[in-house]
Structure 1
Amino acid sequence: MFVSYKWLQEYVDLSGITPAELADKITKSGIEVEGVETLNEGLKGVVIGHVLEREQHPNADKLNKCLVDIGEEEPVQIICGAPNVDKGQKVAVATVGAVLPGNFKIKKAKLRGEESNGMICSLQELGIEAKLVAKEFSEGIFVFPNDVTVGEDALEKLNRDDHILELGLTANRSDCMSMLGVAYEVAAILDREVKLPHPQVSTTAEKATDYIKVTVEAKEDNPLYVAKVIKNVKIAPSPLWMQGRLMAAGIRPHNNVVDITNYILLEYGQPLHAFDYDALGSKEILVRRAKNGEKIVTLDDAERTLTEEHLVITNGSEPVALAGVMGGANSEVQADTTTVLLESAYFKGATVRAASKDMGLRSEASARFEKGVDPNRVRAAAERAAELLALYAGGEVLEGAAEADTLQVEPAVISITLEKINGVIGTAITKEEVENIFSRLQFDTTTDNETFTVTVPTRRGDITIEEDLIEEVARLYGYDRIPTTLPIGSSKPGYLTDYQKKRRIVRTFLEGAGLYQAITYSLTNPTKATQFALETREPIELSMPMSEEHSQLRLSILPQLLDVLKYNLARQNDRVAVYEMGAVFLANGSEELPQEREHLAGAITGLWHEHGWQGEKKAVDFFVLKGILEGLFAKLGLENKVEYRQATIEGMHPGRTAEIFLSDKKIGFIGQVHPTIQKEMDLKETYVFELSLETLLSDAVAPLQYEAIPRFPSITRDIALVVDQATVAGELENIIVEAGGKLLKDVHIFDLYEGERMEPGKKSIAYSLKYFDPEKTLTDEEVTKVHEKVLAALAEKAGAVLRG
């Protein structure tokens, strides 16, 4: 809802309140003001000019040379390209030095050799949207009525010296879809009076009932229909102030009759419709449900086919309007209309909403009927419209109105105690304060001790229960005044479990290592359900799957991650690294629910890093992924408990796959996807891992201990061992660590040799061993003693000999 600040001042005294301050107060009371727009912000120097002379530009077919009086000593020459500019018009002129929207500054110029001292403006050039400009001025300049004064501020005459508040209304506050509804709200907030319009209509001796009869068959859909007749109207543009207000509210001006119905729509929130009485074709209005297949051409010139669900206004035989949504083209007010039949009615919201949805027509009228209009404004809105038609269209209003009235609406009466109000809000508001709030809202209230009996006006259809009254008290008392309290109880503040903390560590580490988190479906197809499973069990089938592709619960996350890689590679992402923490499902027989376990899986492919300037590229390999896992294990304090053992797993490369053990318990595997699967899925060389996250994070870790920086030097010894080719380097490392005791602080492999100088069936593995004692400097004798113990253990347990 767009609310004009200037227009609102006609109903509520806003002195001392700026538009920004008003917006803040309305927002604090519970209705969000989404923005405040200053219509003439940044604009200046636009005045009303009078075109004294117009002639063809001597050097351009589509330009006019105009002599314009702008209220200064001498008229000025302006070159104008508008097709509708002419002598005698009052127009908007941006003078030299004026500023238009977009900070466009007007300067003296020469156009095709002729001097131009300003610019004759269209409404679009003054910042008004093209869709809001009347059709006659949509492709040219705007022409003012002749009664305006030359030299006056053109923006003020167009009602652009205004501020527009955009209200973000919730569905229950349909009362504020009108200026009067907003006026009631603002008056309550500011504790000021509401000045309502009081229509005074002079009528003729003729009666409306002599011209029209109203019959309603669908009484439930239309319990009240009021028809007034206005004769001898003269179709013309509506007053300039009215056009300005309509455009500011987002409605395009048409003519005085249509504009007045739209004006009342904004003012009262009551949709009206004006029929050309002579085009109606009868003296009867019949409101009924449409017949299946019945057709109507609406005002947008579209033919629409109706059903029995739609409510129509007819002339007794054929439809002339789709009730509450849009009028028919066959009874539209035209330039030659002289007698107007004015409709003001109360339509059931659900019926209007169904028709609006079916026809794809959502209008300002339908929006208000859908949310609910005030039934007690139906007649008042018709009287106000009749007054304006008499005033601005020269119409003669016939006495009375033709009506069909079966409407029975009683205002809601709600009782509530002061104790409940304070108990819910958490305040100590006094009885007098509550009475004052209800008085400001103009709710009739009686008080018995501390019990309030409130009669809610029909304009506030959203208030039906005690809690609604409590909300009204709270918001007008001020949400910012409600004291802040902490909950009372013995509960402790929430915290993360150790498992949850470790999950966050895992996620943070992997993302820091360059992997993106993926979230994939737990449902898969029979082929992928058991692929790469850490524990083989019968897959769990859904009893009613949506499709074969999602018919079973997964036993492994990796098949879905490979699909993620395939999707990205197909879109020319040459480097992809993803991980997922998700559930797998293990069957426990047909009588028990499946066991749900949390796994961690990852997949990488393509380039690991690339430095184009240095010409460096590194593709992913087994050791890149193994390094990531080793870093993760170190982060979790498990680096000394994890062991890698070569393995053969279906779907994995036979020579580049290892099982991962934690404290001698298998928790997962790491390796390269089998080349056959890579080819089938159009993958590059791809490396994956999958771990039982529950097992990994549940393992006990010793408390973190810090060590001082060493004061004494360490001693390093390198050894090259000749062993059988089948010997695993990790086994040798375990022997070295066990034999080295407390003095051996670090051991790592740095070379592997298998060549022609090596005995067949043998290989050479080189290790670097670091010895260190934090209490003293080691001597060669001490190191040699331990080192020889290491070599003896290697010879005894692995048959390893030093390479000569």
Structure 2
Amino acid sequence: MKVSVNWLRDYLPIELPANELAEKISRTTVEIEGQYQPQENMKNIVIAKVLSVEEHPDSDHMVITQVDAGEDEPIQIVTGAPNVAEGQTVILAKHNSIVGGGQKIKKGKLRGVVSNGMLAALQELGFDDKVSPKDFEDGIWVFNDVDAADLTPGENALHVLGMDDDVLETGITPNRADLFSMNGTAWEVAAILSEEPTLPTFELTETSEKTADLISATAPAELAPKYGLRVVKNVEVKDSPLWLQRRLWTMGIRPISNVVDVTNLMLLTYGQPLHAFDLDTLPSKDITVRTAKPAEKIKTLDGVEREASAEDIVIAAGDEALMFAGVMGGESTEVTAKTTNIVLEGAIFEPKAIRHAARDQNLHSEASTRFERGVNVEDTFTALDHAAALIAEIAGGEVTEGRVVAQDFDYEAPVVKVTTAHVNHVLGTEITEAEISAIFDRLFFDYELNDGEFTVTVPARRWDITIAADLVEEIARLYGYDNLPATLPTGETTPGKLTPKQALIRATRHDLEGLGLNQAISYVLTTPEKANNFKLHDGQPIQLDYPMSQDRQQTRGSLLTGLLDDVAYNVARKQADVALYEQGRVFVSNGDASVLPTEIEHVAGVITGNVLPRTWAAGAQKVDFFALKGIVERLLANYAFADDIRFVPTTERAEMHPGRTADIYVGETLIGFVGQVHPVTAKTYKVNETYAFELNVDAIFDLPKVKDGYEVVSRFPAVARDLAILVDRDVPAADLRAAIVAAGGALLHDVELFDVYTGENVADDKKSLAYALTFVDVEKTLVDEDINAAVERITAALAEKFNAEIR
């Protein structure tokens, strides 16, 4: 949440510089993710009044203006703004000024006419389009007559717009939803600075007309434990005064109109979302809180017609659903410039239902964020009354008598006990009762102290505190984490070491990094479409009941889904050569929702682009199946399996290329696969030609291994023989190699395929393969008879098994 330090000073006498305040908040409460002043390095930007507007002699869309900027003479400005007019109070970037993004504005000529600066739009001062008021999207900013009356030409426009304010961006944790309001933030900063906050006050004047005569409401407690309405009549919907707009856009919210802006102000002030209906467009004056009917549709304020689910809470008038409760209002009862009578809604809704609707409709709003995490139950009707009073003040409305309350309850403040001894035992401190009492006083918690035990009554604004541990945390952070003693653990210790499985995983990572791959860490959750891709195991992925986004709904069944997203991210940013690996877990459902899913350790890798970059000596080497297979073979060799490793061609993996994919077996155990990602799959993931592998680390760990041992190096020379054979094209080279090794006997030390030939002088259904055979004997020098006997066995075995011809 954005926090305006100037607004915070309305609550507290803060003398600290903003950076020191940010440091104190970071050390005590929540992380400060950013700190800035909207004005940045802008300068020489002032308030000006337009004295005259004349047509440009050489342009059909530009005009020549004379503006009063508080100097002795008017300043001539040429502008193409369509909304400029005589008498307006505007923003002027003078000659030699600096506007948003560091852009310098200098004197120049536009179509031959001198212009001594620029009349500025808010966007040109660095305002985001999402914050700038829509009325001025296509033109310069113009102050309304009421605000302009208080402004002086030549006055610093950045100050007038609030851009010299310091803004803190707080990273609010789930347990501190009270900090989603300025009131909550003020209470927290007051505790940090040992001050007492001055909370906002208001005066509500009501007419004699009864609200209950104009509107009625019903709400079940399980959907809305608190629900109330107020009516404000005879309002004039228009732009908000500058002070209100300034407060909103500083906090990142776009000003809309005085009525809507007041509801947003209450959201920021109290953390309590409110909603305003046009009373005259309600199809019925009977307001009902209920769950949605089957196939019920609502056209929301963003102009999209949405179908509600049975779990969504809606606000209805008569039989017609008007809005998704606590998420977004409906277009049919929107407050517009024609609105004269409004209904204000203040409520607390069931958080799970709000979370479901926000996710289901993909509408995560400022309101739903607060309802999901909780709001101060004692501020709901206070915020409702405050909004009615303020709308009456700035929109000229009349508040009718009383609220219409459909649901309410008396808040029972929780009472939590904690002892001084327990606090010191947990924190390792010697904090006194007086120091703990002082901390509770700073927090403005009511408490009683009896024999070292504090009985604390927790205020409604701190609904995160329910047990003694919560109070210990409050004491620790305000006492100061830096003041907690640092002590070494006592007692018998044991040296830490990796388990065998951890050692294997670490060795795997080191091997892959040594082979040129970089480690990636991807999301465990993915889309339903991707969750079933590249699976090595049977079973279905696990669906989350309340996913945070549409892209993170189910657990992954493969690491490759995330790695391909990583490749796509890099390729989209002109990084064509990508080599990544990831080690992590995949999840397989057991078919029983009451049983935890099976977690299986995997390692996977992807390569696209060039294996080796282009150099002066050689061109770039593009990755292919054999390049990746070589990496996988090296990795598998380091595991030292007792059984043979086999690469078996497969066409069964839908996401992989059917002619360039192989399953990997150790003995009879399937441990993974390697190959090219299918072109159709690659297109779906938005990647180029990519090669990938995935291995089951758990299966690899369970397989028998050869223990480390010393292999004697022969002092006798090795003998090399080449063997060229002609076989059918569909015979796998791996099968040929296995037959050679089996028939070669103990003297055969190495087999290397060094040539594959098809073409002239070779039949179309045949291929020629040439192998280099190396023979070694550690006990004596080999003679021709030994070598010839081994080669004869090999050729006989190849002829028998594969009908091979020796060339």
Among 382, 389, 394, the alignment partner of 1:380 is 382
Separation in 2, partners of 1:361, 1:474: 38
Once residues 225 and 562 of structure 1 are traced to their aligned partners in structure 2, the CA distance between those partners, rounded to angstroms, is 59
Q: 1:33 to 1:761 in 2, by over 3 A?
A: closer
**What is the distance in 1 between the residues matched to 2:28 and 2:382?**
28
Asked if 1:596 is matched to 2:703, the reply is yes
Q: In the alignment, what sits opposite 1:611?
A: none
In 2 relative to 1, CA 232–430 (structure 1 residues): closer, same or farther, beyond 3 Å? same
Larger Rg: 1
Q: Is the 8 A contact 1:582 1:599 kept in 2?
A: no
Determine if contact 1:208/1:398 at 8 Å carries over to the other structure: yes
One of 725, 732, 735 as aligned partner of 1:651: 735
Aligned-partner SS, 2:50:
strand
- CA separation of 1:488/1:84 partners in 2, compared to 1, >3 Å: closer, same or farther? same
The equivalent residue for 1:81 is: 80
Contact 1:13/1:193, CA 8 A, preserved across alignment: no
State the AA in 1 paired with 2:108: A
- Equivalents in 2 of 1:416, 1:70: separation in Å? 64
Distance in 2 (CA, whole Å) between partners of 1:538 and 1:46 is 74
SS of residue matched to 1:131: coil
Q: Which residue of 2 aligns with 1:785?
A: none
Letter in 1 for 2:703: E
- Kept in 2, the 8 Å contact 1:584–1:597? The answer is no
Paired AA for residue 151 in structure 1? G
Instruction: Give the aligned partner of residue 666 of structure 2.
Output: 555
Contact 2:671 2:699 (8 Å CA) reproduced: no
C-alpha distance in structure 2 between counterparts of 1:350 and 1:562, whole Å? 42
Partner of 2:752: 672
Is 1:160 matched with 2:163?
A: yes
- Once the two structures are TM-superposed, the CA of residue 433 in structure 1 deviates from its matched residue by 1.2
Matches within 5 A, 1:263-412: 263-412=265-414
SS of alignment partner, residue 52 of structure 2: strand
Tell whether the 8 Å contact from 2:62 to 2:80 is kept in structure 1 after alignment: yes
Q: 1:173 aligned to 2:280?
A: no
Q: CA deviation at 1:535?
A: 5.1
Q: Which residue of 2 aligns with 1:49?
A: 48
Task: Deviation per CA, 1:333-366: give whole Å up to 9, x if none.
Answer: 1112222211111111112222222222111111
CA distance in 2 between counterparts of 1:31 and 1:242 reads 27
Kindly indicate whether the alpha-carbon contact (under 8 Å) linking 2:314 and 2:325 is maintained by their aligned counterparts in 1: yes
3-state SS of paired residue (2:378): helix
Q: Do the aligned partners of residues 508 and 222 (structure 1) sit closer, same or farther apart at CA in structure 2, a change above 3 Å counting?
A: closer
Cross-structure match for 1:30: 29
Match of 2:57 in 1: 58
Equivalent position amino acid for 1:651 in 2: D
Aligned to 2:92: 93
Gaps of 5+ in 1: 540-544, 586-593, 601-632, 689-725, 737-751, 755-759, 763-804
2:664–2:670 Cα contact (<8 Å) kept = no
Change (3 A) 1:519 1:134: closer
Deviation at 1:236, TM superposition (A): 1.4
Alignment partners' CA distance in 1, 2:309 and 2:505: 59
Distance change in 2, residues 1:556/1:142 (3 Å): farther
User: What is the alpha-carbon distance in structure 2 between the residues aligned to residue 227 and residue 435 of structure 1?
Assistant: 41
Distance across 2 between alignment mates of 1:136 and 1:496: 64
Aligned-partner Cα distance in 1 for 2:192–2:161? 30
Task: Find the aligned partners of 1:637 and 1:44 in 2 and give their Cα distance.
Answer: 76
SS of the residue corresponding to residue 475 of structure 2 reads: helix
1:150 is aligned to 2:234: no
Amino acid at match of 1:188: A
Question: 1:749-768, aligned counterparts within 5 Å?
Answer: none
More deviation, 282-291/3-12: 282-291
Distance 1:392 1:684 in 2: 91
- Match of residue 254 from structure 2: 252
Task: Between 150-159 and 488-497, report the one with greater CA deviation.
Answer: 488-497
Change (3 A) 1:279 1:567: closer
> Partner amino acid for 1:78?
I
Shift in Å at residue 537 of structure 1? 9.5
Distance 2:241 2:269 in 1: 16
Alignment match, 1:131: 130
- Residue identity opposite 2:473 in structure 1: E
| Distance across 2 between alignment mates of 1:395 and 1:177 | 29
Is contact 1:515–1:577 with CA below 8 Å preserved after alignment?
Answer: no
Q: For residue 214 of structure 1, what is the aligned residue in structure 2?
A: 217
1:604 corresponds to: none
Offset, 1:97:
1.5
Amino acid at match of 2:735: G
Shift of 1:659: 12
Letter in 2 for 1:203: E
Equivalents in 2 of 1:565, 1:95: separation in Å? Answer: 61
- The answer to whether residue 194 in structure 2 is matched with residue 191 in structure 1 is yes
Query: 1:20 is matched with which residue?
Result: 19
Give the Cα separation in 1 of the matches to 2:195 and 2:749: 76
Give the distance between the partners of 1:67 and 1:452, measured in 2 at CA: 71
CA–CA separation in structure 1 for the residues paired with 2:266 and 2:755: 76
Q: Which residue of 1 aligns with 2:432?
A: 430
Opposite residue 287 of structure 1, the aligned amino acid is: V
1:685–1:3 Cα change, 3 Å: farther
Deviation at 1:656, TM superposition (A): 9.0
1:273 CA drift (Å) = 0.8
Matches within 5 A, 1:439-518: 439-495=441-497
Query: Which moves more between the two structures, 492-501 or 303-312?
Result: 492-501
Q: How many aligned positions are there?
A: 643
Q: In structure 2, give the amino acid aligned to 1:672.
A: E
Per-residue deviation, 1:405 = 2.6
> What is the rounded CA distance, in whole Å, between the counterparts of 1:57 and 1:36 in structure 2?
44
Work out whether 1:120 is the aligned partner of 2:119: yes
Moved more, 147-156 or 295-304: 295-304
Q: Distance in 2 between matches of 1:687 and 1:761?
A: 16
Query: Contact 2:671 / 2:695 at 8 angstroms: preserved in 1?
Result: no
SS in 2 for 1:376: coil
Q: For residue 132 of structure 1, give the secondary structure of its aligned residue in structure 2.
A: coil
Partner SS, residue 397 of structure 1: strand
Q: Secondary structure at the match of 1:563?
A: strand
Deviations, residues 203-252 of structure 1 (Å, cap 9, x unaligned): 22223223222222x22111221211112211111011211121122211
Secondary structure, aligned partner of 2:246: helix
In structure 2, C-alpha distance between the alignment counterparts of 1:29 and 1:678, rounded to whole Å? 74
Cα deviation code 1:635-659 (max 9, x no counterpart) = x987759999999996354899799
Structure 2 CA distance for aligned equivalents of residues 523 and 551 of structure 1: 17
Paired position in structure 2 for 1:765: none
Contact 1:646 1:659 in 2 (8 A): no
**Amino acid corresponding to residue 704 of structure 2 in structure 1:** R
Give CA deviations for 1:135-187 in whole Å, capped at 9, x if unaligned. Answer: 11011100012322211111111111111111111122110000001111111
Distance 2:215 2:768 in 1: 82
How far apart, CA to CA, are the structure 2 residues paired with 1:470 and 1:349?
A: 27
Change over 3 Å in CA distance of 1:449–1:566 after alignment to 2: closer
Mark the runs of 5 or more structure 2 residues left unpaired by the alignment. Answer: 520-580, 584-600, 605-628, 630-635, 647-651, 724-732, 760-766, 790-807
Contact kept? 1:523, 1:552, Cα under 8 Å: no
Distance 1:659 1:361, change over 3 A: farther
Looking at structure 1, the residues matched to 329 and 602 of structure 2 have their Cα atoms a distance apart, in angstroms, of 54
Whether the 8 Å CA contact 1:523–1:553 is kept in 2: the answer is: no
TM-score by length of 1: 0.70
Cα contact 2:663–2:674 (8 A) shared by 1? no
Q: CA 1:97–1:652 in 2, change beyond 3 Å: closer, same or farther? A: same
Alignment match, 1:781: none
Asked if structure 2 preserves the Cα contact closer than 8 Å seen for 1:260 and 1:388, the reply is yes
Distance change in 2, residues 1:640/1:512 (3 Å): farther
- CA distance in 1 between partners of 2:221 and 2:289 (Å): 9
